[in-house]
Structure formats: C-alpha cells, structure tokens
C-alpha cells in the first residue's frame, strides 16, 4: 500500500512558517496583503477565492477580494489592475482564473506588476523560471515539489513524467522537476503509448482534468504519484485524475484528492505573498 502524502498537514506546516514571517514584518510596521480580483460568478472560483481569503487570515495576512461583475470590460479590468499595482499597501495581486470568455486572459495577466505577481504567471516570471532565476514559483507545481521533498522522495536522477502541458501546471511542473535534476518527459493528448511512458516513471504527475484517468497498470510499482486533477463527479463528489483506489495498491507514495495538491497550492500562494512583501519592504 502506498504512503499517503498528507497535503493538508504539509500545507499547515508551510502556513505556520508564513505566519511567523508575517509576524516579523508586522513588527517592522508592514502588514502583508493580498488582493484577489474575481470577475463574474463562477461557483468554483467563488470557493477558491473564499479559501484563499481564509488562508490569509490564518497566516495573519490582509486580504482584499475585489468582485467585478460578469460584464466587466477589458478596459475596466485593466484599470483595476493598474490601481492595485500602484497601491503600496498591497504586496500580492492575483486574478482568479478562468476569466469570462469575452476577456483577454493573457493581456490581463501581463498587466499585473510582476513584483506583485504571486501566481507566477507574468511573462517576466515565466521567463525567469525558464532560465532558473525565478524569485516566485507558480503555486501548484511548487506545491507538488514541496510535497515530494517533504515526503522523502528522491528527485535527483529520477524519471519524472508529467501528464499535461498547460502554462499553469504541466509546463512549469516539468521545469521545476528538471531543476531538481529529474529526467523529465512531458505527455499530452497527442502522446502515443502513454501507458508505456508512464510505467517508467519514478515520479508521475497527473494534471489532465479527467477523472480517474490514470489506472494502476500505467503506474510503476513504488512510484510517487502526484494527482493535481480536481474533477467534480455527477454525484457531486471530487475525484482526481488518478484512480486512487487502484493506484494506491501499486504506488509507493500517493496524494489524495481532496487533501493533496489543493491545500498546497494555497499554502504556496501564502508563501509567495509574504516573500513579495519582504522583497517590497527592502
Ligand atoms: P488544462 O485543460 O489546461 O490542461 C490539461 C492537459 O492535459 C493538456 O495539456 C492536455 O493535452 C492534457 N490531456 C488532456 N487529455 C489527455 C489525454 N487523454 N491524454 C494525455 N493528456 C491529456 O488543465 P490544467 O493544467 O489547468 O489543469 C489540470 C487539472 O488540474 C484540472 O483538473 C484542474 O482542475 C486541476 N488543477 C488543480 C489545481 C490544484 O490546486 N490542485 C490547480 C490548477 C489546476 P493537450 O495540451 O494536448 O490538449
């Protein structure tokens, strides 16, 4: 049976460290603050934003949720981003994705002051990550690395396979694993013989968005399996991209959904925000 990687417990540990850093900054008269822009009424986004605000409170950090109506124009969104960029009392700014379809996501993200870009999505930060000079790492992949390290999984020289190549998870995940000296393969919807590739993975990261897609026969016995997927099933429950019940019998380590990568994403957001506040204080 695989060792269960407890994302909630590890995230609590990370947040405790963030709370200490926040307390130290407050002694210098700086109150770390995160602003979240939420456009529209997407129910999942509402939950994520609420969880982020709750985490800020738990860390002793200020949070501002800026709610904008569904019909917000690109100009209005950009004006709001610029207003927050100019506000010295706010250290981190994130735009909750996805934005309504009529808005240009890439253009909005590139308006965020890269020093306040605690999601790590600005092209400046993406470029810094590519060249190994990043000061802010995208939260979900950074959280996955932290889960692996804190669980004692050997990264150096490991064969790592990432399923998914999105800009927010798959690609940065591959770069971070490479930085940790893994040999990395990235798979996607056009990959041939996916199961044969994943069967060679000492570390398998699934970021696909398809419930229970990764089956036991795709997993190398003893592998560390990190499940990024969050999929809502018809009965309302959540499932990852990995068929957990099958996979835990084969894997060496596995993250559950919920309670694995999700809490770590938020913990890393807190870490990025306090680091941004520290950097801006200098
Ligand atoms: P995207 O939809 O942007 O990317 C999905 C990737 O999976 C694509 O690269 C796609 O390939 C690939 N893919 C789709 N079908 C297959 C297939 N049959 N075989 C192999 N690869 C396939 O999703 P995200 O990266 O944004 O998110 C992935 C999952 O992670 C989602 O469930 C999302 O909800 C979750 N998520 C969880 C977070 C957390 O905090 N835990 C944070 C962010 C996301 P192609 O490029 O060829 O289309």
- Rounded to two decimals, the pTM is 0.97
Is the CB of residue 175 below 6 angstroms from any atom belonging to ligand 1?
no
Catalytic residue ranges: 52, 96, 119
The string of pLDDT tens digits covering residues 14-32 is 999 999 999 999 999 999 9
CA atoms within 13 A on the CB side of 31: 9
Ligand 1, residue 213: give the atom nearest the CA: 18
pLDDT band at 282 (very low <50, low <70, confident <90, very high): confident
CB under 8 Å to 122, separation ≥6 — which residues? 109, 110, 112, 114
Nearest-CA residue for ligand 1 atom 39 is 262
Task: Report which protein residue has its CA nearest ligand 1's atom 8.
Answer: 164
Of residues 214, 264, 229, 247, the one with CA closest to residue 6: 264
Ligand 1 centroid distance, CA of 194 (Å): 15
The predicted-structure confidence for 124-152, as pLDDT tens digits, reads as follows: 999 999 999 999 999 999 999 999 999 99
Mutate to test the pocket of ligand 1, among 215, 228, 270 (most ligand atoms within 8 A of CB): 228
Q: What is the dihedral of CA 148, 93, 87, 27, to 10 degrees?
A: -30
What CATH code would you report for 28-115?
Answer: 3.40.50.10860
170 lines ligand 1 (CB under 6 A): yes
Nearest one of 145, 167, 170 to 156, comparing CA atoms: 145
Asked if residue 98 has a cis previous peptide bond (ω within 30° of 0), the answer is: yes
**Res 266: pLDDT:** 98
Render pLDDT for 192-249 as a digit per residue (tens, 0 to 9).
999 999 999 999 999 999 999 999 999 999 999 999 999 999 999 999 999 999 999 9
pLDDT digits (tens, 9 = 90+) for 60-93: 999 999 999 999 999 999 999 999 999 999 999 9
> What secondary structure letter does DSSP report for 184?
E
Strand order in the sheet with 224-227: 3-4, 253-254, 224-227, 203-206, 159-163, 183-187
CA separation for the pair 165, 145 (Å, rounded): 17
Domain 28-115 identical in fold to domain 139-262: yes
Judge whether 4 and 254 are in contact, CB under 8 Å: yes
Ordered by start, the domain boundaries in the chain are 28-115, 139-262
Helix, strand, coil content of the chain in percent (nearest 5): 45, 15, 40
| Alpha carbon of 201 to ligand 1 centroid (Å) | 18
**pLDDT for residue 54:** 97
Confidence of residue 2 (pLDDT cuts 50, 70, 90): very high
Please give the pLDDT value at position 253: 98
Domain 139-262 classification at class level: alpha beta
Q: Residue 47: its pLDDT value, please?
A: 93
């Amino acid at each position: 049976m695989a060792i269960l990687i407890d994302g909630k417990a590890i995230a609590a540990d990370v947040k405790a460290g963030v709370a200490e850093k926040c307390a130290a900054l407050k002694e210098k008269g700086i109150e770390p603050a995160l602003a979240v822009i939420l456009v529209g009424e997407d129910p999942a986004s509402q939950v994520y934003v609420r969880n982020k605000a709750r985490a800020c409170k738990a860390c002793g950090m200020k949070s501002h949720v800026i709610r904008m109506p569904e019909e917000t124009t690109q100009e209005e969104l950009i004006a709001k981003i610029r207003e927050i960029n100019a506000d010295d009392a706010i250290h981190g700014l994130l735009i909750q994705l996805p934005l309504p379809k009529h808005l240009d996501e890439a253009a909005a993200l590139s308006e965020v002051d890269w020093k306040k870009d605690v999601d790590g999505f600005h092209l400046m930060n993406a470029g810094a990550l590519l060249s190994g000079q990043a000061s802010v790492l995208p939260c979900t992949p950074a959280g996955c690395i932290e889960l692996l390290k804190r669980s004692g999984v050997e990264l150096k020289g490991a064969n790592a396979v990432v399923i998914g190549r999105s800009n927010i998870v798959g690609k940065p995940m591959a770069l971070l694993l490479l930085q940790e000296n893994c040999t990395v393969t990235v798979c996607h919807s056009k990959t041939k013989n996916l199961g044969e590739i994943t069967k060679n993975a000492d570390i398998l990261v699934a970021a696909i968005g398809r419930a229970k897609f990764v089956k036991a026969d795709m997993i190398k016995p003893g592998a560390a399996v990190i499940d990024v997927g969050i999929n809502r099933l018809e009965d309302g429950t959540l499932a990852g991209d990995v068929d957990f019940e099958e996979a835990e019998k084969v894997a060496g380590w596995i993250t559950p959904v919920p309670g694995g990568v999700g809490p770590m994403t938020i913990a890393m957001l807190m870490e990025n925000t306090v680091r941004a506040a520290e950097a801006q204080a200098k």
